[in-house]
Amino acid sequence: MLFAESLIDLLEDEEYEVTHVPNGQSALDASYENRYDLYLLDINVPLINGIELLQSLRDADDTTPAIFLTSHKDEDSLKQGFLSGADDYITKPFNNLELLLRIQALLKRSKKLEKKCVSNFCYDTSKKIIYYKKVQLELSKREYDLLLLFLQHIDTPVPKEMIFDHLWGTNSAGSDGALRVYINRLKHLLPDEDIQNIRGIGYKLVS
């Protein structure tokens, strides 16, 4: 806990807004309820270890940049960390200035890579924001995930199976009825846009 408190103080001194959670399950829950610019993860944490946590996030198409801060110095942990989807891996003890510089570089690179405009939309996946005709849309997490999926496959049919996977994960709790609810919400938000039902396949956003 002392390490976490020191890290929080360091980041807040740099005017970062920090959310701290005590275990991997709480981190997973927080990721579903909030949108973050960066994850700082340890490996040895209760309930779900850091590597399994990040793998779960990546399997759910969460591309938020992630850095491991860990005492594990062995090659296998390093390999597993990057294979699970980490963008950086820093072993303890570390230099505070080095950590801050790596965070800044990763956030800067992420913002450059994750901003894109298509048709009437612009999106920033690092901030998880979508603009429509230069106005920010107020979206729930699943509405954001669904619209982003359509924008990344614009003018191309997106299979329902891919949508279920993207919105609810591989252990899908989704259904045709639940999906129609989110489709109808997007149609209500975007009455000038054409979201087509492709019979027997899925849906398509037409530019």
Is the same domain home to 71 and 157?
Answer: no
Do residue 139 and residue 81 come from a single domain? Answer: no
Q: pLDDT value at position 170?
A: 58
Question: Can you give the pLDDT of all 207 residues of the chain as single tens digits?
Answer: 577 888 888 888 888 888 888 888 888 888 877 778 888 888 888 888 888 888 888 877 778 888 888 888 888 888 888 888 888 888 888 888 888 888 888 887 766 556 688 889 998 877 789 999 989 999 998 999 999 999 988 888 988 888 888 888 755 567 888 899 999 999 999 999 999 999 889 999 998
Final residue of a domain: which of 84, 112, 140?
112
Q: Are residues 62 and 91 in the same domain?
A: yes
174 and 192 both lie in a single domain? yes
Residue 185 confidence (pLDDT)? 95
Same domain, 69 and 158: no
Q: What are phi and psi of 203, to 5 degrees?
A: -135, 160
Residue-number span of the structural domain to which 197 is assigned: 119-206
Both 71 and 170 in one domain: the answer is no
pLDDT for position 50: 85
State the pTM of this model. Answer: 0.53
CATH number of 150's domain: 1.10.10.10
* CATH assignment of the domain containing 36: 3.40.50.2300
Answer yes or no: do 13 and 54 share one domain.
yes
Task: Based on the fold, state whether residues 6 and 48 are members of the same structural domain.
Answer: yes
Q: Round to whole Å and give the CA distance between 77 and 34.
A: 28
Count Cβ atoms below 10 Å from residue 63 Cβ, excluding itself.
16
Number of domains present in the structure of the chain: 2
Supply the DSSP string of 3-51, one letter for each residue.
HHHHHHHHHHHTT------SSHHHHHHHHHH---S-EEE-SS-SSS-HH
Residues 85, 131 within the same domain: no
